[in-house]
Amino acid sequence: MTRKAGAQVTELIADAELETSAASIRLVRLSHEGPKEKLFARKDAYWIDLCLTPRRPSASARFVQEWGAHRFAGMGPISAFPPRHLLHLKSQGGRHTSLICALRADVVDRWLPAEFEWTDRRLEACLDIANSTIRSILTRLSHELRHPGLGARDLCEALTLELGIEVARHLNGISEPIEKGGLADWRLRAIDSLLVEPGEPPTLGELARRCKMSVRQLTRAFRMSRGCSTGDYMAQMRIELAKRRLGGDESIKSIALDMGFSSQSNFTYAFRKATGLTPSEFRKRLLRGADRQTGSRQSPEAWASRP
């Protein structure tokens, strides 16, 4: 279904769908014209979104009851909106393709310790989850929905249960900043600015010098802030940058070498491991996505409001 609001059109196309005992899973393509804002909340599910194409420009969110009216945080390639929290979402419009996994709340919550609290750091981390294990599970789910093989339903059942454990581990491992060992915001911004520069990714030593701390301090504090290692985070950032460049017309070999990969084959291996697609397949899908008109259509709000 296509919805219109004045001159604005919002369209969601579902390419595949699967229900397990733990989750509702969909591969969707979403597009809307111009800036869009909406409120979003789920009572009984973690709404986990793996963006398979570059996230739409300026996609951001704020937790309405916990943050001030002007505090928004950017959304990363993987986000996990927690249940029972109202979010204000906004973006500048455009298209993207995502794997959406509405994971039952109890599948995650059963693994969280009794003293678990939704701290400010944990809420912010939900908007940008850099965790290689969670990414791997979501990528595998995406592949099974696109190309279901023998035992696909049972495999997806197991994967969604595993996902619940890994999300709980990730959230429980995130500590508050500075006084509990995490990185100050200026250090996190400094790291991100280094990672988007062309060429080979910076070494741990270079990151530590930029943050004015030792390598040991950096690795420990970074894991507490982001819930993952610096290596996992750098690998994810490189793949996201590659996705954006594949939307242009430069050669795949040029992208690979400019991003510090020793060869196109090494880049292809890393990209396929992270996304389930080769760079050329990903580029073809980006080009095809703008024109494809097949698939079931319905309002994004209609599916999001399902119990």
**pLDDT at residue 27, as a whole number:** 92
Region of poorest pLDDT, from 17-26, 195-204, 288-297: 288-297
**pLDDT at residue 289, as a whole number:** 57
Residues 236 and 274 sit within 8 Å (Cβ to Cβ):
yes
| 217 phi, psi to nearest 5 deg | -60, -40
Band the pLDDT of 281: cuts 50, 70, 90: confident
pLDDT at 3 over 50: no
Architecture of the domain whose range is 178-284: Orthogonal Bundle (1.10)
Q: What is the pTM of this model?
A: 0.66
**pLDDT at residue 244, as a whole number:** 78
**pLDDT at residue 181, as a whole number:** 62
**pLDDT at residue 223, as a whole number:** 83
pLDDT at 94 over 70: yes
Instruction: Summarize pLDDT for 102-123 with one digit per residue, the tens.
Output: 999 999 999 999 999 998 889 9
**Domain 178-284 in the same topology as domain 2-174+292-304:** no
Average pLDDT, integer, range 138-151? 90
Mean pLDDT of the chain: 82
Amino acid in the structure at residue 184: A
In the chain, where the domains are located: 2-174+292-304, 178-284
**pLDDT at residue 57, as a whole number:** 65
Which CATH code for domain 2-174+292-304? 2.60.120.10
User: What's the chain look like in SS3?
Assistant: CEEEECCEEEEEEEEEEEECCCEEEEEEEEEECCCEEEEECCCCEEEEEEECCCCCCCCEEEECCCCCCCCCEECCCEEEECCCCCEEEEECCEEEEEEEEEEEHHHHHCCCCCCCCCCHHHHHHHCCCCCHHHHHHHHHHHHHHHCCCCCHHHHHHHHHHHHHHHHHHHHHCCCCEHHHCECCHHHHHHHHHHHCCCCCCCCHHHHHHHHCCCHHHHHHHHHHHHCCCHHHHHHHHHHHHHHHHHCCCCCHHHHHHHCCCCCHHHHHHHHHHHHCCCHHHHHHHHHHHCCCCCCEEECHHHHHCCC
The pLDDT > 70 percentage for the chain reads 87
pLDDT at 64 over 90: yes
**pLDDT at residue 55, as a whole number:** 76
Average pLDDT, integer, range 254-276? 86
pLDDT at 2 over 50: no
